Structure 1
Amino acid sequence: MRLSDVEAAAGAARLSVLGGFHPEPDEELGSTLMLLGPGPDFWNQFAQSPEMRDGQADPLDRWSRRVVTRIAEVVGARPLFPFGPPPFHPFLTWATRTGRVWPSPVNFLVHGEQGLWVSFRGALVFEMTLDVPPPMERPCDSCTEQPCRTSCPVSALTPSGYDVATCKDHLRGGADCMSAGCAVRAACPVSRSFPRDGRQSAFHMEAFL
């Protein structure tokens, strides 16, 4: 099994290997852990799924559980998820150990290729030691503009904190963020270079609200 095999299996479901690391033995996370999240053209794949079409609750979580479990079977890994019953897994902490994801100036995580659009749908735990995607340079370090700091139209999300109540009040008023996605996430220069369907952003904003 190679990293390219894992990337191919994930890519068939329009998921990306967002990063990985080699856990310590006492963590009981095998020898290699890789994080999966939506890649380019993810929305078209998910929108056609039975989970999205059956009208039941939590379609994305149910899709993720089915698809990531199948990927794990194909590549010989154990799947873990950022949702569901305890034990809860520290996906955000894991992400920062990959060398490809960091806290942004507004404290949301930023990915070297996906910017502030990054999200996680599952993890793969391998008992074998595999290569993982190489570390990247933190994009915020060379971003002189840092528009994430000032892009929220109601100043609900800034370096000083996140006022969730103000954010939701703004969304309920018919904000553009409901259809186009969070203005702060969208303003990130790396986010702007990552293809993301507006319907995916609208889906997540509706779930958040």
Structure 2
Amino acid sequence: MTSLGLQSDGCRLGFGDIEEALAVHGLVLRGGFNFATDEAPPLGLSGAPAKSVLLVGQAGAAPWPHFLRWREQQPSTITNPLDSWSRQVIGDVAEAFGARAVSPSDKPYLPFQRWAMRAEGLKPSPLGILMHPQYGLWHAYRGALLFEDEIALPEHGEAVHLCDACVEKPCLKSCPVDAYSRAGFAYQACLAHVRGGNGEPCRSGGCLDRNACPYGTEYRYPPDVQAFHMAAFADP
């Protein structure tokens, strides 16, 4: 995306400038698109309807050391620290480039998964996480930048969906309580297991089904990162 640009306040800004501002925090641009004329997009910075959106996220655990340094300076009682860090970082970048920052946890909820599928041409895995042809299941979307100008973006085809070539589907066979199946996610069964006496492998090393996926393993989150996310799931 570095060769493209966008129009903001009459100035031509390179995507490379935004990418560099995000990279300082281990974050990356994850694609974007222009809203169609018949859509009802969220509002931009001035209160007018946004015309375009850029998704911001991570590949692997690159933001983790940046987040930990920030967290050391915060009160120990801070709630949802990763969400708070993401809001602050993406908000600062949005301010610098004349955009409005939005988060997946904003209410009313914005359709982040649909946006991500549209921006990168991805499809959900059997676990519901979007499958990326390079990162596998080890990526996330932390926020988005809404602009009131259209962005010149290249056309992209549908990404290769690695799950289509995966015959064994180990992601549906590794959980001891069959939390994931073709019928969907058994939330209560998963939660009870993680909180229970036999849930230590999941609490300390992450979801067994997710870790069983053979794709994108070089981007797999380290155990401490997975333990952090699992603790947030088990004790929201």
TM bracket (short chain) = 0.7 to 0.9
Question: What's the CA shift for 1:17?
Answer: 1.8
Q: Is the 8 A contact 1:185 1:191 kept in 2?
A: no
Q: Structure 2: 5+ residue runs without aligned partners?
A: 1-12, 43-49
Residue type of the alignment partner of 1:154? V
Q: Is 1:83 equivalent to 2:96 in the alignment? A: no
Q: Hey, what's the Cα distance between the residues in 2 that align with 1:52 and 1:152?
A: 37
Q: Is 1:92 equivalent to 2:109 in the alignment? A: no
Q: Is the 8 A contact 1:32 1:130 kept in 2?
A: no
What TM-score does the superposition give when structure 2 sets the normalisation length? 0.78
Question: What's the CA shift for 1:64?
Answer: 1.2
Q: Is the 8 A contact 1:5 1:75 kept in 2?
A: no
Q: Hey, what's the Cα distance between the residues in 1 that align with 2:127 and 2:95?
A: 37
Residue of structure 2 equivalent to 1:16: 28
Q: Hey, what's the Cα distance between the residues in 2 that align with 1:201 and 1:132?
A: 34
Q: Hey, what's the Cα distance between the residues in 2 that align with 1:180 and 1:48?
A: 22
Question: What's the CA shift for 1:98?
Answer: 1.9
The counterpart of 1:109, out of the listed 130, 137, 150, is 130
Instruction: Kindly name which structure, 1 or 2, has the bigger radius of gyration based on alpha carbons.
Output: 2
Distance 1:186 1:52, change over 3 A: farther
SS in 1 for 2:139: coil
Q: Is 1:153 equivalent to 2:176 in the alignment? A: yes
Of Structure 1 and Structure 2, which has the larger fraction of its residues in helix?
1
RMSD: 2.3
Aligned residues: 208
Identity across the alignment (%): 36
SS in 2 for 1:63: helix
SS in 1 for 2:141: coil
Q: Is 1:163 equivalent to 2:186 in the alignment? A: yes
Q: Hey, what's the Cα distance between the residues in 1 that align with 2:112 and 2:95?
A: 21
Q: Hey, what's the Cα distance between the residues in 2 that align with 1:28 and 1:161?
A: 29
The counterpart of 2:222, out of the listed 193, 197, 202, is 197
Residue of structure 2 equivalent to 1:186: 211
Question: What's the CA shift for 1:175?
Answer: 2.7
The counterpart of 2:88, out of the listed 66, 70, 74, is 66
Q: Is 1:27 equivalent to 2:40 in the alignment? A: yes
**1:20-65 per-position Cα deviation (integer Å, ceiling 9, x unaligned):** 2222133335333121123342111101114774211111121111
Q: Hey, what's the Cα distance between the residues in 2 that align with 1:177 and 1:165?
A: 15
What TM-score does the superposition give when structure 1 sets the normalisation length? 0.87
